[in-house]
Amino acid sequence: MWKRILALSLAVLMMIMTAACAGDGGQQTAEDQEILVWMPSLAPDGNDKEVWGEIVKPFEEENNVKVNFEFISWKDYEAKYASGIQMGNGPDVGYLYVEMFPDYIDAGLVEPIEDYLTQEDRDDYLYLEAGKIWDRVYGLPLSIGNPVALFYNQDILDSIGESAPETWEDVRRIAQKATADTDGDGKIDQWGLAQGWGQSFSQDLNWNWYSFVFQAGGDLFDEKGRVIMDQEPAVEAATFLYDLKNTDHALPEDCMAQTNSEMFANYFITGKAAMSFGGVNLANAQLLEGKDSDFEYGFTLKLKNKIESTRCGLDQMVVMSAAPDKELAAKLIKYMTGPVGNGQWHQVTQGAPVSRSEENHAFPMLKEALEGNEDIVRPLKPALRAPQVYEYLWKALQEMMNGNSTPEETMKDVTEYGNSLPYERQSDSE
């Protein structure tokens, strides 16, 4: 028996050696350059590698380069980037979302792409202004993500004699009226709002928070990056949310355990809630059109308090400073986000075009949502140490929704925390 184990170990040892040798940094032939792209997995079926592999073939041939994609899970995205950069094996082309940009810009890790844009490019791309970070165009957006909409159940609204909500007062009124016991068994089985606060990290701020502050005419940060959530707009937004749950009792009991998407699926899709906030994305569209939902639904992006405004995501592809050939990296980014690459990509993801000359492959709901609303949707403002503020904010909001603190206290606390962290920019980005 020991002889066998010895033999096995030797065999494995040999495998390790070959694997270790083969694994060191990958092949680099003299002729072929390589470009490394790190991005999250965005294709509906998870087959990003195959899809992008096809899309970049012409680019690879034309430029004699091999494009390597690494897809990274969202949960550990920042950790992977940080460690990659530290270890010196980070990507040449990165995919950053607005929360990440400030720290990376400040540390000199990304190059603004505006130097590589021609006038044609500037005319063609739709969201260059919106995507500017500190007044410079650093990256090019791949997709416009998840504009936040208010979905409503027309049937329920009809039954309580209401029409589509347009203001916060409408929302509260409808929520109150809709929360009822519809089958007379003494238990409430229909609620006004399906909104989830159970997400373990701050991602659900996307649907639960930002848009409301915008609609109240405010923002989370000012131009300098200072937290201004103790001002009226944010406090008003917090009060709005607080009341919906704790005063109007329009949210189901388990809203604190489930994520917003889960609440959307469990309560809104099943017809048990009158309204729900969510992103206009393929999954939600499929849920709404799917066999489990059998009510008339509507959605609006035009909810208004002081202004109409709603948050959307605008993640960008960017040239990392560590890239040996920045021009090539910029070229790749333009290829991927431009009408050629993105046209194909959006066919797979059914996303909306980000440049004028791109064919529109957006799925119907998204087309409808964006039409005429280009001025209402906006991404977040950048600020240093924003991720920390968001995580803290999220936990604080959870506490508030649980009734442990008032909206004013919560906003004050978050603002104090946010401003106790250094947020002044170290250097002017070169």
Partner 1 sequence: MKKVCGVMLDLFFLTLAFIMVFPFLYMLVVSFQETYSPYLLSFDPADYSLDNYFLLFQRSGFFLWVRNSFLVSISGVLLTLAICSTAGYAFAKLRFPGNDRIFFFLFAAMAIPFPATVVPLWIIMGKVGIASTMASLILPVPTFLGVILFRQAFLSIPGDMIESAKIDGCTDFQTFAAVVLPLVRSTVMSVAIIYFARSWNSLLWPMIMAGGDYNRTLPVGLAAMQDLYVVNYGLSMAGAVINFLPPFIVYLLLQKYFIQGVVSSGLKA
Partner 2 sequence: MNRKHKYKWNGYLYILPMCLSVLFFWYGPVLLSAVFSLGSYSALKPFQFTGMGNYTALFSDKYFIRALSNTFIWVLGVVPAQTVLAFFSACWIAGKKSSFLASLVRKVMFIPSVASVTVIGIVCRLMLNSPQSPVNALLGIFGGSASNLLGSETTALPTLMLIEVLVNTGYYMIFFLTSLMEIPESYYEAARMDGAGAFRICTQIQIPLLKPVFIMIIFLGLIQGFRTFDLVYTTTGGGPGQASMTAVVYLYMQNFKFSQIGYAMAIGNILVVIVALLTFLQRRLLKNKENSLY
What's the distance, Cα to Cα, between the start and end of the chain in Å? Answer: 66
Number of other residues whose CB lies within 10 A of the CB of residue 356: 10
Query: 218 vs 379, which CB is nearer to partner 1?
Result: 379
Token pair in block for residue 66: 């091999």
Alpha helices in 188-338 (DSSP H): 205-208, 210-215, 232-242, 260-263, 282-289, 326-337
**Least gap, CB of 238 to partner 1 (angstroms):** 25
Q: How many angstroms separate the CA atoms of 143 and 146, rounded?
A: 9
151 vs 267, which CB is nearer to partner 2?
Answer: 267
Number of residues that bind partner 1 (CB under 8 A): 57
The answer to whether 57 contacts partner 1 (rule: CB under 8 A) is no
From the list partner 2, partner 1, none, pick the one residue 246 interacts with, judged by a Cβ distance below 5 to 8 Å according to partner type.
none
Among 33, 154, 176, 203, binds partner 1 (CB under 8 A): 203
Amino acid at 98: V
Does 266 contact partner 2 by CB under 8 A? yes
By CB under 8 A, tell whether 364 contacts partner 1: no
Among 50, 404, 408, 416, binds partner 2 (CB under 8 A): 404
Q: Least distance in Å: CB of 12 to partner 1?
A: 5
Token pair for 279 = 């992103």
Contact between 83 and partner 2 by CB under 8 A: the answer reads yes
Region 369-388 residues binding partner 2, contact defined as CB under 8 A: 385, 387-388
By three-state DSSP, how is residue 164 classified? Answer: coil
From the list partner 1, partner 2, none, partner contacted by residue 53 (C-beta under 5 to 8 A by kind): partner 1
| Bridge partners for 40 per DSSP | 72
| Nearer to partner 1 among residue 8 and residue 421 (C-beta) | 8
**Residue 265 or 384 with smaller CB distance to partner 1:** 265
SS3 362: coil
Task: Output the 3-class SS for 223-247.
Answer: CCCCECCCCHHHHHHHHHHHHHHHH
Minimum distance from CB of 406 to partner 1 (Å)?
32
Find all residues with CB under 8 Å of 230, minimum gap 6, and list them. Answer: 411, 412, 414, 415
Gyration radius of the chain's alpha carbons: 24
Q: DSSP assignment of 405-417, as one string? A: S-HHHHHHHHHHH
Residues that bind partner 1 (CB under 8 A): 1-2, 8-9, 12-13, 15-16, 19-20, 22-26, 40-47, 49-50, 53, 68, 70-76, 79-80, 83, 86-89, 146, 203, 261-262, 265-266, 269-270, 279, 281-283, 286-287, 290, 292
Residues that bind partner 2 (CB under 8 A): 76, 78-79, 82-83, 85-86, 103-104, 106-107, 109, 197-201, 252-258, 262, 266, 385, 387-388, 391, 395-396, 398-399, 402, 404, 426
